[in-house]
Structure 1
Amino acid sequence: MPKLTTKQTKKQESGADMRAFGPLFNKDLGQHILKNPLVAQGIAGLLGSDTVLEVGPGTGNLTVRILAQCKKVVAVEFDPRMAAELQKRVNGTPDQRKLHIMLGDFMKTELPYFDVCISNTPYQISSPLVFKLLEHRPLFRCAVLMFQREFALRLIAKPGDTLYCRLTVNVQLYAKVDHIMKVGKNNFRPPPQVESSVVRLEPKNPPPPVDSKEFDGLLRIAFVRKHKHLVANFKQTTVLHMLKQNYNTYCSAHNIMLEDDVDIKDKVVEILESIGMAEKRAANCDMDDFLKILLTFNNANIHFS
């Protein structure tokens, strides 16, 4: 029998380890199962009356701890093998009646009522998942979400931080976001390539009366070059063309008389200068700055969506 190389031996041990733990994990689905019970306990912390939505429960290491603390768990799992493993794990236990598994793609699933969302989030759907949760009604109390470390840091960034970006401002408009803990890659099986972090996301209730598409349209312009003066971003030909079209469309739809000689470039510069924002940079603007810009442009009948 040929002797295995060190590399082959490690690969064989890794495969055996994964099989012993349960079904083979699909890395294409971002399946990295949380194995450290101390981390699992740190993520939880629930009320006995809570209905919990768990995204990507995997083999249930976190699920069984959630079940012990709450009224009901609705687990959304894409992989039928993982769902079967989870169901088998709770069958015959007192918590069996408290678990409801929804098999399918989370992003295509109509979500039921829930108080708290807990997710060891597949990295591929991090951003879509956050915005799907923020759009959910009725509002939930909070979400405790595990993400790739850099993505988590973008969510909690402040003006001036390196990772401060359009995602940061869009999320913080509708939710308070706090960093809970760092989670090393060795807390997962198989270990991912990157470190993780857990954040707590608490929707603002009531949500601010801001059109999300309008707000994001403004941020797209502001953050295209976040270290440039805002006036430079707004002076781009494609931006001015879009704003002129939106201006004309809005005025026409609302029976507002169009100015014959309106120069959209001059109008945009005048608006930014009137509120002292022409020379500011998106990288250093806070939430109030962006809301002031949006309101002033909208009051001048210029829209971003």
Structure 2
Amino acid sequence: MSGLRAAGGIAKKGGKAKASGFSGIEFHKSKGQHILKNPLVVQSIVDKAGVKSTDVVLEIGPGTGNLTMKLLERAKKVIAVELDPRMVLELQRRVQGTPHQNQLQIIHMDVMKAQLPYFDICVANIPYNISSPLTFKLLAHRPAFRAAVIMYQHEFAMRLVAKPGDPLYSRLSVNTQLLSRVHHLLKVGKNNFRPPPKVDSSVVRIEPRNPPPPINFLEWDGLVRLCFGRKNKTLGAIFRQGNTLALLEQNYAVWQALHKASDGAEVDLVAAVNRMAMDADKAEAAAADGGSDDEMSEDEEAEAAAAGGGGGGSARRRRGKASEGFKEQVLEVLQRHGFLERRAAKMSQDDFLGLLAAFNQAGIHFTS
């Protein structure tokens, strides 16, 4: 597992060179292993985490433990999740015979496969390639933690904190900010690492909203995915798409027949954040290929409209045509609430919540 780690740890990206690490451990640049050499950054991360003497701290990607040792000085307990067996041995060596030996618990496995225990604070220097799924895994964790201080690739961090109108504002931004308060803490230049990685990093503080907003998260995700499919188009244009209207009308019929209630928010949250993570990964891949969020086809828009719906098959196979009455109903909702000419790229979290409430009040849903 490669990725950015704190002093004595690992950072993402790099070539084939090797660098000698602490305690004689070789760090492989080809695996994205770089050493954070600036102790001031390590201390800043600990300070900004706000660790209390009664806290259980979850550390993801501890590396050889320089940050771990600082955390142990402040916390009641540190639970370190580490995949590299060499790092596990080094962590064990560093605490052996010290007053902190009984404060450290090491979980030797892939963090994405681990059942995370209770913790108050998370400190993570994570592999860039799991930034999205790990972020949403943490946000879905129960009981909710107080805060997470995480090192990300700089551009990813900027997408997390982006506001409406910012070019980086995306589904990732609005979904993360729905579930948490997100703050950019500091930028960490690549020259703070040995050898330097190819990109800069940033540290972000995430504070989960507890309790989370009282909404159906699968409905929310279906709406947001649809709107951000072409975030610079007006909502009027998006909701005039034939396939989108057809699938929304199918959902409408099912809801009218079953009189479903939108309860089970905790189950919805887990299912929705998993989808949010996958969506964010797809958006990252599209951006890396020179694309953007503003590239969803009509069929993809239709599938997004049925985001949480059951039944297999692609939107193309289920192509249909909505009734004129239903189309008028959808557009009337947008018109009445002032959303017809709005664009997702400039809509706030409250705007999306208002839009979802308006549709739901009219009996229009984004899950079937």
Distance 2:323 2:157 in 1: 48
Task: Please give the residue correspondences for 1:1-305 in structure 2 after superposition, counting only pairs within 5 Å.
Answer: 15-18=18-21, 22-25=25-28, 27-28=30-31, 30-45=32-47, 46-254=51-259, 263-305=325-367
- Match of 1:113, as an amino acid? Y
RMSD (Å), alpha carbons = 2.1
**How far does residue 115 in structure 1 lie from its aligned partner after superposition?**
0.5
Q: Which runs of 5+ in 2 are unaligned?
A: 1-14, 261-321
SS of alignment partner, residue 68 of structure 1: helix
**How far does residue 277 in structure 1 lie from its aligned partner after superposition?**
0.4
Deviations 1:44-81 (A, max 9, x none): 13111110001111111211111111110001112222
When the two structures are superposed, what TM-score results if normalisation uses the length of structure 1? 0.88
Cα 1:243/1:199, change in 2 over 3 Å = same
- Match of 1:97, as an amino acid? N
* 8 Å CA contact 1:31, 1:122 repeated in 2: no
Deviations 1:11-57 (A, max 9, x none): 99x525348652434754x5444332110110013111110001111
Cα 1:20/1:139, change in 2 over 3 Å = closer
- Match of 1:71, as an amino acid? K
- Match of 1:34, as an amino acid? L
Cα 1:134/1:231, change in 2 over 3 Å = same
Count of aligned pairs between the two proteins: 289
* 8 Å CA contact 2:19, 2:195 repeated in 1: no
Cα 1:40/1:233, change in 2 over 3 Å = same
Deviations 1:261-296 (A, max 9, x none): 663322211111110001011111111110011011
Distance 1:195 1:184 in 2: 5
SS of alignment partner, residue 170 of structure 1: helix
- Match of 2:223, as an amino acid? L
Distance 1:301 1:135 in 2: 28
Distance 1:32 1:213 in 2: 39
Distance 1:168 1:278 in 2: 22
* 8 Å CA contact 1:35, 1:61 repeated in 2: no
Q: Which runs of 5+ in 1 are unaligned?
A: 1-10
Deviations 1:194-214 (A, max 9, x none): 100001111112211122221
Cα 1:57/1:238, change in 2 over 3 Å = farther
Distance 2:104 2:164 in 1: 42
SS of alignment partner, residue 216 of structure 1: helix
- Match of 2:27, as an amino acid? L
Cα 1:197/1:219, change in 2 over 3 Å = same
The structure with the largest alpha-carbon Rg is 1
Distance 1:253 1:32 in 2: 56
Distance 1:98 1:82 in 2: 17
- Match of 2:351, as an amino acid? D
* 8 Å CA contact 1:121, 1:145 repeated in 2: yes
Distance 1:26 1:78 in 2: 17
Cα 1:31/1:250, change in 2 over 3 Å = farther
State percent identity of aligned pairs. Answer: 55
**How far does residue 241 in structure 1 lie from its aligned partner after superposition?**
2.5
Q: Which has the higher contact order (CA 8 A, sep 6+)?
A: 2
